[in-house]
Structure 1
């Protein structure tokens, strides 16, 4: 295991969750690194939308590789959302993730949700996890279930079943976006791997989630959507001839500096 792989793994401390903000391009990633975040993830929605493609449709494999190349020199640990791995062939998924690892990526999110709104068979996702761990043993595989995200029947039972399957396949973490607050403590106690949850505006903060045993909190697409919202708000204010109530924007020079220019 490389020093970077070990450093990323060490950030996952149940009870003391690391905040993993999610970037979608070089500027957002560089800004988050400059703000002192030791690790960042990518947001599949942000990467897809920035490229004019749909999220969750297996269409952004090339975009993820290109982004990893652009981010490889940033002083930050990077984990990439690879959706379902862009293939149902576990060997192809492993080859793809190995390409990311060769670019310095230390982790991936690998999900079981499908574009048609169903969950992939747990055996298939587990096979993908196992193939990735065989190809790049040191890389942190965060196995994600969309049991709540897609509204399947009995999502808690389904999530726990999948957690066991993915853990046995070698997953290093378990991600449960949209899990209700009252299930988080149970999940943290039962899944047997560091638990990752999605930050929810108005929901429990880092300290409260830590008390429930959470190890990692992601912002998902929130930062990307907030940036779009701020841009629309400001454009509307300028068009209407009124002041926009927004935080001060970074200066031109500061943003230019993110590129090393």
Structure 2
């Protein structure tokens, strides 16, 4: 097994859940790596919005690949959100993920939510997972199922049924965004034989609580990107109105410049 992929896999078996912060560009990923995070993910919303494109409609395959090419130069393990794989063809999805892996990406996040607000066919998603694992058996495939995220009726049995199919296809983890209900997470963790990934929700349970409920990985999703955007808007408003304009923890010019290695493109 590739050493970096094995290292990433081991992070899901620690005493606390792996906190996976999600970056949207080189600066955000480099800053997170500099803060000591051993692994960083990408956020499809942040990547899409930064490029002026919509999220979740398979519009950012090129942008995601280009970003991965930059981020894999950083001293951090990288997992990439590929939405639904940017294709309905399982072979094409596997080929795209192989390009990412060739750059040094150690994992991907593959979702079954569709842009029209429905869940993709479970067998079609499983076929994509199986195609990826056939060529990249040690790449960490995190299968995201969006039953809660999309508000479907009776999401628990749907989630468990889909997770079982994805696991049989080779998924290494199951991501269930949209619920942090601790009793529900316990049921999921007990029924799944792979690491459970949950999405952090502001005002919800903290990292340790989520870990005690069975979460092995906690992602921030688009939260950091939206927080940065919100801080930018608040600062611009403060300049306009004469209010305080120095947010806590504001990096200096030199600190941001230091995130970019000399001679990088």
Question: What secondary structure sits across from 1:141 in the alignment?
Answer: strand
Cα RMSD over matched residues?
A: 1.0
Equivalent residue number for residue 128 of structure 1: 128
Equivalent residue number for residue 249 of structure 1: 250
How has the CA–CA distance of structure 1 residues 178 and 64 changed in structure 2, closer, same or farther, with 3 Å as cutoff?
same
Q: Which runs of 4+ in 1 moved over 3 A?
A: none
1:16, distance to aligned residue in structure 2 (A): 2.0
Is the 8 Å Cα contact of residues 173 and 194 (structure 1) preserved in structure 2? yes
Is the 8 Å Cα contact of residues 41 and 81 (structure 1) preserved in structure 2? yes
Give me the whole-angstrom Cα distance separating, in 1, the residues matched to 2:68 and 2:243: 40
Question: What secondary structure sits across from 1:143 in the alignment?
Answer: strand
Q: Deviations over 1:77-130 (max 9, x none)?
A: 000000000111111100000000000000000000011111011111111000
Is the 8 Å Cα contact of residues 180 and 204 (structure 2) preserved in structure 1? no
The number of residues matched between the two structures is: 261
Is the 8 Å Cα contact of residues 180 and 205 (structure 2) preserved in structure 1? no
Is the 8 Å Cα contact of residues 84 and 113 (structure 1) preserved in structure 2? yes
Equivalent residue number for residue 70 of structure 2: 70
Equivalent residue number for residue 175 of structure 1: 175
Equivalent residue number for residue 224 of structure 1: 225
Which protein has greater RCO, CA pairs closer than 8 Å, 6+ apart? Answer: 1
Q: Structure 1: which 5+ runs fail to align?
A: none
Give me the whole-angstrom Cα distance separating, in 2, the residues matched to 1:260 and 1:103: 18
Equivalent residue number for residue 186 of structure 1: 187
Is the 8 Å Cα contact of residues 14 and 194 (structure 1) preserved in structure 2? no
Is the 8 Å Cα contact of residues 129 and 170 (structure 1) preserved in structure 2? yes
Equivalent residue number for residue 95 of structure 1: 95
Give me the whole-angstrom Cα distance separating, in 1, the residues matched to 2:220 and 2:226: 11
1:75, distance to aligned residue in structure 2 (A): 0.2
TM normalised by structure 1 equals 0.98
Equivalent residue number for residue 47 of structure 1: 47
1:179, distance to aligned residue in structure 2 (A): 1.9
